[in-house]
Amino acid sequence: MKVARFSKMGFILAAAGSAVGLGNIWKFPYIAGEYGGGAFVLVYLLTVLLIGFSIMIAEMLIGYLGRKDTVTSFEELAPTHKGRWKFAGFQSLAGLFIMIFYSVVIGWIFNYIVTSVTTLPSSVKEAETTFNAMLHTGFKTQLFYHTAAFIWITYVLTKGIKGGIEKMNFILMPALMVILGGMFIYATTLDTFHQAVEFMFYPDWSKINSTAFVVAVGHAFFTLSLGMGAIMTYSASMEKGSNLVKNAFWVVFLDTTIAIVAGLMLFTFLYQYGSGPAKGPGLVFISLPAAFYEMGVLGNIFAVLFFIALAFAGLTSSVSLVEPMVQYFIDRFGWSRLKASISMGTFFWFFGIFAILSNVDGYKEFLTWGSKSFFDWVDYVTAAIMLPLGGLAMAIFVGFAMDKSKVESIMRPQLKWAFDIWYFSLRYITPVAMFVVILSLMGII
């Protein structure tokens, strides 16, 4: 059977499609707001450059050489202890878990696309009421749109690498860039644009503390889709002879640029028409719609376009979150793609219902442990623990377990003088940083 592979451009778009997601447009602006802007953004950028880029190359290398699902790739590439290393491949489970809440958020976005056509909230108060009504009492609405997201994502997965994933990214990624680019250009013409620039790039070091540092590192992983085998699985279908460093560069570049463009645009709108940089997850669902309202009809158009772009970003990431486990069942158990896609889809759809219920009045009491709902727990455990652990495993695998001469023979010609820096970063900088992040997030330090 001929194995389907991404085209060159197809790979970059698909991997960038994975990276550019809700993390860039929904999460990044609000956590940047929460942790005081500039200083946080700088720490995040440094992490992306020093750690994210290295791990991205390492993850691509494992996938590119392994050519299989994550479990098999680790197993086959490990020179010794194959049976043990194969467990590192189960980092792919994180993607399925992330989907439990990710799909629900995409559902909210679908809902906002529809309602923004006719109605925008006239004040932040009203926007808050609308959002909370959906969250706490709108079970049916959330279930309906969560199911729509599940059907879309599963359908694309059944179509495979070429006819599904590559094709979708070829359409949605350029569309997303055009929408965001257009809105960004409009934002640059507003008086408050410079305030947004200042907010995002003027570092106020007094606002940075160890929590902000840890959040920045964790977010760098999440936003670059690292630590759960998504990039690895896509790389298994990369064309032979591809330049991993160039590919990694494009993915990191596009992801970072889109996060910054989205952040600048959102903050400009919030300064110009709203109440300034809002904090918290409600930023795009509460403060932003209220700011769009102030723009009149243009606001409705912008709101619909914005939520469409956000949905596109989320959908292209979603397929990459599920694909590793789909590939796993195809490669290890000989399942058909159809069976694997529908089974994995059903998994996140089913548990997604509990994520919805964990915010709904009358149910949330039963689905909240400690101060976190089931929804928040899934987010926390995946982003705070599973992804950094996955990243740690990859750094150690490429840095220590894999044969250095093999790694060097492929990577030195591509990295040239930077090879030693990369290798050093994988062996020492990344593991130490990951370890600190994990301990700190678990509240140990």
- The torsion angles phi and psi of 373, rounded to 5 degrees, stand at -80, 170
Tell me which of 10, 37, 52, 95 binds ligand PFF, using CB under 6 A: 95
Beta carbon nearer to ligand PFF, 274 or 324? 324
CB of 164 to ligand PFF, least distance (A): 16
Angle between helices 297-333 and 93-118 (to 10 degrees): 160
Distance of alpha carbon 117 from alpha carbon 244, whole angstroms: 42
Out of 12, 22, 60, 378, the only residue in the binding site for ligand PFF (CB under 6 A) is 22
Scan for tokens 């009358």, then name that residue. Answer: 362
Applying CB under 6 A, which of residues 10, 12, 14, 24 lies at the interface with ligand PFF?
24
**How far apart (Å, rounded) are the C-alpha atoms in residues 33 and 304?**
23
User: What residue type is 13 in one-letter code?
Assistant: L
Is 440 among the residues that bind ligand PFF (CB under 6 A)?
no
State yes or no: residue 222 binds ligand PFF (CB under 6 A): yes
Binding to ligand PFF by residue 62, rule CB under 6 A? no
Closest CA relative to residue 71, chosen from 53, 83, 80: 83
Which span (5-13, 21-29, 150-158, 397-405) binds ligand PFF, by CB under 6 A?
21-29
Supply the minimum distance, in Å, between the C-beta of residue 412 and ligand PFF: 28
Instruction: Decide whether 99 or 330 has the Cβ nearer to ligand PFF.
Output: 99
52 is a site residue for ligand PFF (CB under 6 A): no
Rounded Cα distance, 104 and 378, in Å? 12
Select from 9-17, 114-122, 142-150, 220-228 the region that touches ligand PFF (CB under 6 A): 220-228
What is the total count of residues that contact ligand PFF (CB under 6 A)?
16
Q: Mask of contacts with ligand PFF, 320-359, x by CB under 6 A?
A: xx--------------------------------------
Which C-beta is closer to ligand PFF: that of 22 or that of 57?
22
Does position 17 interact with ligand PFF (CB under 6 A)? The reply is no
Q: Which of 61, 156, 172, 228 binds ligand PFF (CB under 6 A)?
A: 228
Closer to ligand PFF by Cβ: residue 24 or 111:
24
For the chain, what is the radius of gyration of the CA atoms?
21
Tokens standing for 22? Answer: 């809700």
- What single-letter amino acid sits at 410? I
| Cα dihedral sign, 73-78-79-83 | negative
Q: How far is the CB of 283 from ligand PFF (least distance, A)?
A: 15
* Interaction between residue 215 and ligand PFF (CB under 6 A): no
From residue 195, give the alpha-carbon distance in Å to each of 191, 199, 350, 402, 406: 8, 6, 44, 48, 50
Strand partners, 392: none
Token look-up 């700011």 returns 291
Pick the binder of ligand PFF from 6, 18, 307, 437 (CB under 6 A).
Answer: 18
- Binding region for ligand PFF (CB under 6 A) out of 160-168, 295-303, 316-324, 413-421: 316-324
CB neighbours of residue 191 within 10 Å: 9
Q: How far is the CB of 263 from ligand PFF (least distance, A)?
A: 13
Which of 19, 143, 389, 437 touches ligand PFF by CB under 6 A? 19
Amino acid at residue number 2: K
The angle subtended at Cα 22 by Cα 375 and Cα 309, nearest 5°, is 135
Spatial CA neighbour of 426 closest among 4, 11, 57: 57
SS3 368: strand
The stretch near ligand PFF (CB under 6 A) out of 17-25, 129-137, 156-164, 420-428 is 17-25
SS3 281: coil
| Token output for 193 | 């644009």
Can residue 199 be called a binding residue for ligand PFF (CB under 6 A)?
A: no
Say if CB 269 and CB 193 are below 8 A apart. no
SS3 state of residue 369: strand
Q: Cα-Cα-Cα-Cα dihedral of 77, 385, 232, 164, to 10°?
A: 140
Residue 251 near ligand PFF by CB under 6 A: no
* Position 109 contacts ligand PFF (CB under 6 A): no
* Of the candidate residues 23, 263, 277, 299, the single one contacting ligand PFF (CB under 6 A): 23
Q: Does 53 bind ligand PFF (CB under 6 A)?
A: no
At closest approach, how far in Å is the CB of 382 from ligand PFF?
8
Task: Report the residue from 14, 61, 120, 230 that binds ligand PFF according to the rule CB under 6 A.
Answer: 230
DSSP letter, residue 209: -
Interaction site with ligand PFF (CB under 6 A): 18-19, 21-24, 95, 98, 222-223, 225, 228, 230, 317, 320-321
